[in-house]
Chain A
Amino acid sequence: MINRKSLELWVGLFVAAGILALAMLAFKVGNLTSADVMDGYKVTARFDNVGGLKVKAAVTMAGVRIGRVSAIAFDNKKYQALVTMDIDGRYQNIPKDSSASILTSGLLGDQYVGIEPGGDEASLQNGDSFLRTQSALVLEKLVGQVIFNKAGESAPAK
């Protein structure tokens, strides 16, 4: 049996290494550092179609993440999707007439909300909503449109 001091040293090393490994998993492997929006405010937007947008999806402006989607609900009166977003409190002056659109990162990537700034002096406050929105692109509709147009082009030529 080894003596008490070196035993304690080994156990101390072991515990410290274990906690360090957990911390590495949390910060380096996981996304604990960028997970939360700091004292954010809520804005909403109505979309005709949210496509594959999910809760926790990113809200970006100029490609930089400024918040995340906190809820997606269906508005029974207007037959639209109501998307609630948490925007980071550091980004207060988003123009009131900005537009929100649902975009896709890459060909098969996740969908996210992209915000295009408008020119209004007033900025969005907590609880405001985007007036101009652009829905998600649905691939089937797009393909359908292309085929329809092609058919329309070639028909009169005969």
Chain B
Amino acid sequence: MNTLRVLGGIVINSVERVGRAAMFLYEVLLGSWELLRRFYLVVQQVYAVGVLTLLIILVSGLFVGMVLGLQGYNTLVKFGSANSLGLLVALSLVRELGPVVTALLFAGRAGSALTAEIGLMKATEQLAGMEMMAVNPVTRVIAPRFLGGVIAMPLLTALFSAIGVMGGHLVGVGLLGVDAGAFWSQMQNGVDFHDDIMNGVIKSVVFGVVVTWISVFEGYDAVPTSEGVASATNRTVVYSSLAVLGLDFILTALTLGEV
């Protein structure tokens, strides 16, 4: 009997939390409109979540591309089609690895920082102080961070994929001796702008919204103690990663339309 009650409590709590998160997103979106007049706040956040994440994105993109080049070459060469290496690297990056790995790294690097920052603002009662001064903390603090994340994610993804293709080129053409012309021409023949590249862009926008939403909500909803902020940061990374991987399957199934 008691376990049933605990189970019910968990379900009710989590449904309540989802509801709060949805209401919160609505408020943030309303607040975003007012930000058009004070766009500098958003620019600041694009710097914090975008520019400062750039290094890890570029380095990982380069290495993911290089590993794809190596692995792909070793498999393709068995079938005598090493010339398709460019196609393999570009398609895997643009369709799948670019958006997903960028979103995971973003959740780890920028999402956790957002949660910790907002959670600490709440714990030190800065948010309550703003409300006392009739400043809406959602418009002033949350919405710029949300918009900054949503703007930064597609750009980071594009950079990740682009530098990954460069990495694949570096290993494939430079090290393993695949013909550079075949590398690029097979890639251009096989990668379609609407089906593949736009698909990746749509994914990155969706991931940007979801990861930033989870990050700012967890921060705003954190228990205002040091343990509360710690577990909120923890939850941000876990939930964002799960959401990204789950949504990735759904989006891929929708766009491929063959499931």
Contacts and interface: CB of A to CB of B under 8 A. Distances in A.
A29 B43 contact: no
A24 interface: yes
Interface in B189-208: 189, 191-193, 196-197, 201
B35 to A, nearest CB: 15
Q: Is the interface of A mostly helix, strand, loop or mixed?
A: helix
Describe B's contact surface by its main secondary structure: helix
B94 to A, nearest CB: 6
B47 A11 contact: yes
B54 interface: yes
Contacts of A18: 154-156, 158-159
A25 B94 CA distance: 8
Contacts of A28: 184, 188
B197 A26 contact: yes
A29 B165 contact: yes
A30 B67 CA distance: 21
A19 B201 CA distance: 12
Interface stretch (A31-39, A84-92, A142-150): A31-39
A26 B193 contact: yes
B212 interface: no
Nearest to A31: B188
Interface in B94-112: 94
17 contacts: A10-B51, A11-B43, A11-B47, A11-B50, A14-B50, A15-B155, A18-B159, A19-B158, A21-B159, A21-B162, A22-B158, A26-B193, A29-B161, A29-B188, A30-B94, A32-B193, A34-B188
Given A14-B54, A22-B158, 10 more contacts: A11-B51, A14-B47, A15-B151, A21-B161, A25-B161, A26-B193, A28-B184, A29-B94, A30-B191, A30-B197
